[in-house]
Amino acid sequence: MAKDKTKPRADLAPRREIAAKQEAEKTAKRRRQLAINWAIAIVIIALVAAGIWGARAHVKAGEREIAITGPANAAQITPPNASSDGLAIIVKADEAAAFSPSLPIPTPAPSDTPTDTPTDTPSDTPSDMQGEEGTQTDAPSDPPTDTPSSTPTVPPNPSGPYIVDFYVDFQSFSSSGTQTTYGPALTALAGKGDITLRYHFLTNGDTTNTNTASSRTAIAAACADTVGKFLPYTQAALAATPISITSGALVFGDQKLKVEFPATAGITGDDLKTFQNCYTQRATRSFISTMSIANQTTAVPGNSTYASGVTSTPVMVVASPDTPTVFQTVDLSTDMYSDAPSTSEDALLALIATTAYGLTDNG
């Protein structure tokens, strides 16, 4: 008997029902997957947005840290021990005496200065020096080849302290090395009143290294002068100068400038708050900027080498109390790399004296 094809088969209904359920399940599954994909996309977008916001916040914080200008309308100040011409910051004798380990009694009175002067007076220096760059030796010197009448002598009792001008850049490793070599003796001599020590800050390292580390560190050192810790802060900062010229921005960050260097310099309590506020406001920015530019364009009095200013570091020039406007250049490289560099107080004072009175060829 032939089948009647006009009538639906009895088993089609269940099969169609099963197919419909399967299709519904597939549709539901696709919708769930779509929802999951959307949720993942939203999370990713949120993470990216958070990352961008965090990065921008970090950049802003970094900009605040590396900025030289400080907050808008921040009041500018001049360090209390700035020289009258604005070219340097002068180290106070009592500050140097308190900081120098070789001076147990701080703040020597002016009347006591002659008793603190080394017994080997500058007048004995020429007979104790070699004829090359004023380097002191322990061996007795040979008789001078020049006649005594043609050999200048250093006055045994100078009328006042020698003037020592020290030009440095906080990103100059040579400046750091010079400070390490001569710093202790310079500090002791300044504390005794034998010299007037003046630091001149140049900030050329910023241009060389495309950062702001030289300026920011100089600003901080000038702020340290407002709380009487200029010298120890400056020495702490110079001691940290990296060998690599590209590391200045990393070394001289806020943690170093605002926390670690002040701790090394002994800045605490209310003085620390005063110092940190000064630095955060960049309150000495104008002074440092002007100092750096002026030192590079102002002639060093009486000095032919730096008749147009000092544009490199380190440089040390000295003047005698008898001719305070005539500065002679100390040959640092020759002395530092000699067999007997002038690192002791007596030797360095002799080098300063002989240079100031033109007894060397360092003019």
Q: With bands split at pLDDT 50, 70 and 90, how would you rate the model's confidence at 56?
A: low
Contacts with 98 (C-beta within 8 Å, 6 or more apart), sequence order = 106, 107, 191
* Amino acid type, 30: R
What is the arithmetic mean of pLDDT over 322-346? 95
Half-sphere CA count of 10, side-chain side, radius 13 A: 1
pLDDT at 106: 40
pLDDT at 183: 97
Q: How far apart are CA 327 and CA 317, in angstroms?
A: 6
Contacts with 260 (C-beta within 8 Å, 6 or more apart), sequence order = none
For the segment 159-217, what is each residue's pLDDT rounded down to a tens digit?
A: 899 999 999 999 999 999 999 999 999 999 999 999 999 999 999 999 998 899 999 99
For the CA atoms of the chain, what is the radius of gyration? 35
Q: Which DSSP string corresponds to 42-95? A: HHHHHHHHHHHHHHHHHHHHHHHHH-SS-STTPPP---TTB-TTSS-EEPPHHH
Question: CA nearest 80: which of 294, 278, 362?
Answer: 278
Question: CA nearest 187: which of 263, 97, 119, 264?
Answer: 97
Q: How far apart are CA 257 and CA 217, in angstroms?
A: 7
Specify burial of residue 71 (Cβ count, 10 A radius: 0-12, 13-18, 19+): exposed
Mean pLDDT of the chain: 82
Q: How far apart are CA 170 and CA 192, in angstroms?
A: 26
Specify burial of residue 266 (Cβ count, 10 A radius: 0-12, 13-18, 19+): middle
Contacts with 45 (C-beta within 8 Å, 6 or more apart), sequence order = none
For the segment 75-127, what is each residue's pLDDT rounded down to a tens digit?
A: 999 999 999 999 999 999 999 999 876 554 443 334 343 334 333 434 443 33
Per the model's pLDDT, the better-predicted residue between 349 and 251 turns out to be 349
Q: With bands split at pLDDT 50, 70 and 90, how would you rate the model's confidence at 137?
A: very low
In terms of DSSP bridges, do strands 162-168 and 315-319 run parallel, antiparallel, or are they unpaired?
antiparallel
Number of helices (H), then strands (E), in the chain: 15, 5
Buried b (16+ CB within 10 A) or exposed e, 26-35: eeeeeeeeee
**Helix or strand holding residue 201 (H, E):** strand 195-201
Contact criterion met (CB below 8 Å) for 221 and 257: no
Contact criterion met (CB below 8 Å) for 164 and 195: yes
Contact criterion met (CB below 8 Å) for 296 and 144: no
Contact criterion met (CB below 8 Å) for 267 and 234: no
pLDDT at 29: 81
Q: Which DSSP string corresponds to 123-162? A: GGHHHHB-SSTT-B-SSPPPPPSS-GGGS----SS-SSPE
- Provide φ and ψ at 148, rounded to 5°: -55, -35
Q: How far apart are CA 352 and CA 344, in angstroms?
A: 12
Cα distances (angstroms) measured from residue 77 to each of 86, 119, 198, 217, 261? 12, 42, 19, 16, 21
pTM: 0.70
Contacts with 39 (C-beta within 8 Å, 6 or more apart), sequence order = none
